[in-house]
């Protein structure tokens, strides 16, 4: 779907759309111009041509449907991410046009469970600093290193399930269960229930993914309430009898002179850990293999030189970022590039667009695992809100692709992917499926 500029108005040809005044829509005020529509599943499935157009014509793009400002150039995105005084991480009421539906969702959550107490990604320094320090005691480089042997064992156990068949559906049989098992175990939960946790994660993210009806919002909230009450029981159990797991570490993360995390804080932190543990690494694993299959010369290069594995991972994260961007809200009027943004506006530094900025990455649309500055990407953010689980995600990717290439040869797509290939989401990039064939070594 496209939005077309016409004299005096923008008409979005969708049932949910209204007419929008063309005044102020920089870059597309000429009648007949086509405006990228980032709510269209087809555009979300393959947004890179639209990103290139924004880089050229309108690097800070105000979405006509929502008023959200997309910041697409690399340096501008870095500035937004690092200026926490001007661009707040507090939840923004202007990020969506579904105010009534969002209010209904919050009411169901508050009446049946615990309203979210903003933590970590939803706070600014100095409040954010406290949560970052608490989580920093849990997600340490040493802990990730100690997990490597077990992660590798899980990787091989999953490959064992399909290696002799010569085929598998990679997303459901590997990309989902691997990070799901790891995060479930770190939470001290039963790995056999990972699809339940996946259902919870999908519900927790639903309001940010797409427009929901009131009935969908209520049903989604009820699923999240199931997660909240399950987790509340686990929190209390760990207070009484700590274990060597992430929930126990969070419940007991405070020092002698610090207040323990409240139930609302614990619920919000778990919301972020559960969704991050499932969704982003799942997307990165599926995308990484898909990129290798679409670029066989790069796959051959990686097989010839396993020392390129680290750079392959960074290039995958740059080329097709698993998280397209995150929301911020302006605390005062601000100018970004040539665009004036008012106070209280919703802003999204669009990682996926910034990572295709030709001013930083030569030939940004070319997948090149030898790219010298691939690790300069913004896929995990930058600054104080840099993804706290980045080291774990990278480790899971490294061990996964090392094992897959060691054990499987002649990997090929088993057929055409669905159209669109990705689940419809404004800020995540999970493939729906990735059927492959191969020969076990």
Question: What's the average model confidence in pLDDT over 392-409?
Answer: 97
Cα 433-378-264 angle, rounded to 5 deg:
80
DSSP annotation string for 274-314: HHIIIIIHHHHHHHHHHHHHH-HHHHHHHHH-GGGHHHHHH
pLDDT value for 28:
58
DSSP letter at 439 equals E
- Specify the range with the lowest mean pLDDT, choosing from 3-17, 83-97, 220-234, 315-329: 3-17
The answer, yes or no, to whether residue 21 has pLDDT greater than 50, is: no
The answer, yes or no, to whether residue 15 has pLDDT greater than 70, is: no
Beta strands in 8-58 (DSSP E): 9-12, 19-20, 34-35
pLDDT value for 25:
52
The tokens for 105 are: 């969702």
**What is the distance between the terminal CA atoms of the chain, rounded to a whole angstrom?**
45
pLDDT value for 396:
97
Q: Phi-psi category of 63—alpha, beta or left, where left has phi over 0 and alpha has psi -120 to 50?
A: beta
User: Could you report the per-residue pLDDT of 50-62, keeping only the tens digit for each?
Assistant: 999 999 989 999 9
How far from 131 is each of 17, 63, 167, 309, CA to CA, in Å? 39, 32, 44, 33
Q: How far apart are CA 171 and CA 434, in angstroms?
A: 6
Q: Where along the chain do its domains lie?
A: 96-321+388-440
Question: What's the average model confidence in pLDDT over 224-231?
Answer: 94
Report the chain's C-alpha Rg in angstroms: 22
Q: How far apart are CA 206 and CA 98, in angstroms?
A: 13
More confident residue, 414 or 274: 414
Identify which of 268, 288, 270 has the alpha carbon closest to the alpha carbon of residue 280. 288
User: Could you report the per-residue pLDDT of 246-265, keeping only the tens digit for each?
Assistant: 889 889 877 667 788 899 99
φ, ψ dihedrals at 436, nearest 5°: -135, 155
State the average pLDDT for the chain: 87
- The architecture (CATH level 2) of 96-321+388-440 comes to Orthogonal Bundle (1.10)
Q: Are strands 346-349 and 69-71 parallel, antiparallel or unpaired?
A: parallel
The answer, yes or no, to whether residue 81 has pLDDT greater than 80, is: yes
């Amino acid at each position: 779907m496209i939005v077309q500029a016409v004299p005096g108005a923008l008409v979005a040809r969708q049932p949910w759309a209204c007419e929008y005044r063309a005044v102020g829509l920089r870059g597309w005020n000429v009648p007949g111009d086509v405006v990228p529509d980032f709510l269209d599943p087809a555009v979300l499935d393959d947004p890179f041509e639209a990103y290139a157009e924004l880089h050229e014509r309108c690097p800070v793009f105000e979405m006509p449907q929502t008023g959200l400002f997309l910041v697409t150039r690399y340096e501008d995105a870095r500035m937004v991410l690092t200026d926490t005084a001007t661009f707040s991480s507090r939840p923004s009421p202007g990020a969506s046009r579904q105010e009534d539906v969002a209010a209904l969702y919050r009411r169901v959550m508050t009446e049946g469970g615990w309203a979210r107490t903003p933590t970590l990604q939803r706070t600014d320094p100095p409040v954010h600093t406290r949560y970052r320090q608490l989580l920093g005691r849990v997600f340490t480089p040493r802990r990730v290193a100690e997990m490597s042997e077990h992660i590798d064992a899980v990787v091989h156990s999953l490959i064992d399930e399909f290696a002799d068949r010569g085929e598998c559906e990679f997303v459901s049989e590997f990309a989902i269960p691997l990070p799901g098992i790891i995060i479930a175990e770190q939470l001290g939960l039963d790995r056999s229930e990972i699809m339940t946790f996946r259902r919870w994660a999908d519900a927790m993210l639903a309001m940010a993914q797409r427009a929901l009806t009131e009935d969908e919002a209520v049903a989604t909230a009820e699923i999240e309430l199931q997660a909240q009450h399950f987790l509340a029981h686990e929190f209390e159990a760990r207070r009484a009898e700590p274990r060597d797991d992430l929930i126990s570490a969070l419940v007991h993360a405070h020092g002698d002179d610090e207040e323990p995390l409240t139930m609302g804080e614990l619920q919000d932190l778990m919301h972020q850990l559960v969704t991050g543990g499932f969704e982003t690494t799942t997307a990165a694993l599926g995308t990484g293999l898909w990129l290798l299959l679409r670029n066989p010369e790069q796959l051959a290069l990686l097989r010839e030189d396993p020392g390129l594995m680290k750079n392959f991972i960074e290039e995958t994260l740059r080329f097709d970022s698993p998280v397209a961007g995150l929301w911020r809200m302006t605390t005062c009027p601000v100018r970004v590039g040539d665009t004036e943004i008012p106070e209280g506006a919703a802003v999204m530094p669009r990682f996926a667009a910034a990572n295709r900025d030709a001013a930083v990455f030569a030939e940004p649309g070319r997948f090149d695992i030898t790219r010298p500055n691939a690790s300069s990407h913004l896929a995990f953010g930058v600054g104080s809100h840099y993804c706290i689980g980045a080291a774990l995600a990278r480790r899971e990717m490294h061990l996964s692709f090392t094992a897959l290439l060691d054990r499987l040869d002649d990997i090929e797509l088993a057929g055409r992917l669905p159209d669109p290939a990705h689940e419809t989401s404004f800020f995540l990039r999970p493939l729906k499926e990735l059927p492959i064939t191969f020969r076990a070594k």
